[in-house]
Structure 1
Amino acid sequence: MEKMMEIKELRKEFKSYSSRSGLKGAFRDLFTRNYKVLRAVDDISFTVRPGEMVGYIGENGAGKSTSIKMLTGILTPTSGTVNVNGMDPHKEREKFVRTIGVVFGQRSQLWWDIAVQESFRLLKKVYRVSDEAYEEHMSHVIETLDIGPLLDKPVRKLSLGQRMRCELAAALIHNPPLLFLDEPTIGLDVLVKNKIRQFLKEINQKYNTTILLTTHDIADIEALCDRVIMLDQGKVIYDGALDHLKEKWMEEKQIEFQFIDEVSKEELDNLTKGMPVLWHHGKDGWRWTASTEDHDDLISDLIAKVVNALKIKDVNVQSISMEEIVRNIYEEGAVRE
């Protein structure tokens, strides 16, 4: 199969009721109602190949959750076509759901009051997984995610990190070729996040599992994905390599200065007048960050000017972070060509 997902001109519109103001307006609403059509997903198109790990990112309200629900067959598109794993997710829902795994950070597929292993057994029956296939596959999953000691505990007694590892294992009971992950590391500590990321890399390499990852944690994207699809106001504003995105936006350096005495923005602006520098206030009046072009001579001149004029306690030169890149893109509403 050349394409695990093929989405063409996908659109989802919702009709929302708009009430009129005042008593007179309420009376008119009894007979005629005003409606607004809200377009949550606006003619998006993309393809995903088998074995790809794709970061699917966007701000709240960008259309991520709505489009994921259409890709998993929960919602019916207003228009456009969705072909996932060779099927229409909505029209062939029962057959389709046996070929995907889904983990939602805010929702559970495990039964709250019974032991984790009992939930696993129920899901094994639902997906019609043989005893041999279950033992072969799940023994590896349970060992890698280190959830063996948790299997006889009720879900309600697990911590968030323990529950998310069990949720991930539950989604993989039938070893699906396609995995949808919606905020799988939300609220987790660094050690648990790293364990989950390492596990996802491993199943991708071992089983060629295709993964579509929705997250606000940019570190997840950097650790797992070579490609990102970025949404804004229901439209795809970037679809390509993560490295390419970094190259296009990492044209800046940030120099953080920690001064001995308190310094004002006016002083700094006057000091660097005529230079392509933007000053950002730090945590206190003694810390300021200068954003400027990534040219060695310019950075040298900037540091020399500041050091010669003001008392410096510390200087730190760093590239712009991935999180900052994404924030800048959303502020501008487009990706640089």
Structure 2
Amino acid sequence: MQLSLQDVVKQYNGTTILNGVSASFYAGHCYLLLGQNGAGKSTLAKCMVGDEKVDAGSIILNGSTSQVFDEIAMQYQTFESYKHLRIREIIQLFKILTENAYYSEELYEILGIHSYERMLLKNASGGQRKAVSIFLAFLLNKPILLLDEPFADLDLMKKKKLLYFLQTSMQQQNKLLIIISHEVAEFEALFDYIYILDKGKIVEHGKKDELQQKYKHAVLPGIEGIYFDVTGQVLGGRGA
């Protein structure tokens, strides 16, 4: 399975957010999408799942532009739907409505949803909503998963358990996993490929191991060093 972006352009009110983005993603691998706030990461993700219509370019799955969006599930940074339902009711609703739903008791436990499943969504914290959004993205059982800051708002133990779950589920189910995240230092083992987005353009990409060799003299360790050498920016912070 191959998901391809070809010269994708997206504008808002005359401002170009994505300026000719091209990328290729393959099943069985995990891709890390990096960039500062405003670089276009979330806009690109929304275009990939069909929430936003591209102004130019193409999004292609296995050589076809039809039904691309039906094959991608996205975990959003915030989950605001069904505020007046209890969390377990929301999950059950999605389970009933989803054909071949993937209901993982392991993921339910990792995210600790059992401890607040009776809570109305409107009363849930940011971390709890993030957990529900992650669970629902997996429950939809799509071949492509796009996770937007999945580790944010989770405590350290949940982050570690989620890392292991993502690694094993990707291998066992041959998923294509694309992750937008500023948190990389503790999760580098998860990522196979890296794409760096800056001012709406892909400015560097490649296999993680090859990029680490290319930027082996970076002043910062690991992926953070690659990012700093390419952009002059610290992940989640300011430039040098």
1:39 aligns with 2:16: yes
Structure 1 residues 154, 42: closer, same or farther in 2, change over 3 A? same
Structure 1 residues 161, 202: closer, same or farther in 2, change over 3 A? farther
Alignment partner of 1:249 out of 215, 220, 234: 215
**Residues matched between the structures, number:** 233
Higher relative contact order (CA 8 A, sep 6+): 2
Alignment partner of 2:86 out of 115, 129, 137: 115
Structure 1 residues 86, 196: closer, same or farther in 2, change over 3 A? farther
1:226 aligns with 2:198: no
Deviation at 1:120, TM superposition (A): 1.0
Q: Which residue of 1 aligns with 2:60?
A: 83
Identity %: 26
Distance 1:210 1:248 in 2: 25
| Matched position secondary structure for 2:96 | helix
Q: Which residue of 2 aligns with 1:104?
A: 76
Q: Contact 2:204 / 2:230 at 8 angstroms: preserved in 1?
A: no
Q: Which residue of 2 aligns with 1:240?
A: 206
Q: Contact 2:30 / 2:178 at 8 angstroms: preserved in 1?
A: yes
1:187 aligns with 2:153: yes
Structure 1 residues 86, 156: closer, same or farther in 2, change over 3 A? farther
Deviation at 1:86, TM superposition (A): 6.2
Q: Contact 2:130 / 2:153 at 8 angstroms: preserved in 1?
A: no
Structure 1 residues 170, 252: closer, same or farther in 2, change over 3 A? closer
Q: Which residue of 1 aligns with 2:8?
A: 10
Which letter maps to 1:49? Answer: Y
Q: Contact 1:103 / 1:167 at 8 angstroms: preserved in 2?
A: yes
Alignment partner of 2:163 out of 187, 197, 204: 197
1:72 aligns with 2:49: yes
Structure 1: gaps (5+ residues): 17-37, 254-318, 333-337
Distance 1:115 1:57 in 2: 34
Q: Contact 2:185 / 2:222 at 8 angstroms: preserved in 1?
A: no
The alignment's C-alpha RMSD in Å is 2.6
Q: Which residue of 1 aligns with 2:224?
A: 323
Structure 1 residues 86, 140: closer, same or farther in 2, change over 3 A? farther
Deviation at 1:119, TM superposition (A): 0.1
Deviation at 1:191, TM superposition (A): 1.6
Structure 1 residues 109, 210: closer, same or farther in 2, change over 3 A? farther
1:164 aligns with 2:130: yes
Distance 2:222 2:150 in 1: 22
| Matched position secondary structure for 2:232 | helix
Structure 2: gaps (5+ residues): 234-240
Which letter maps to 1:327? Answer: F
CA-to-aligned-CA distance 1:273-331 (integer Å, 9 cap, x gap): xxxxxxxxxxxxxxxxxxxxxxxxxxxxxxxxxxxxxxxxxxxxxx7453243123102
| Matched position secondary structure for 1:40 | strand
Deviation at 1:76, TM superposition (A): 1.5
Mean alpha-carbon deviation: is it higher for 322-331 or for 198-207?
Answer: 322-331
Alignment partner of 2:95 out of 113, 124, 133: 124
Deviation at 1:87, TM superposition (A): 5.4
Distance 2:95 2:114 in 1: 17
Distance 1:73 1:178 in 2: 13
Distance 1:86 1:221 in 2: 32
Distance 2:133 2:141 in 1: 14
Alignment partner of 1:210 out of 151, 176, 179: 176
Structure 1 residues 110, 201: closer, same or farther in 2, change over 3 A? farther
| Matched position secondary structure for 1:166 | helix
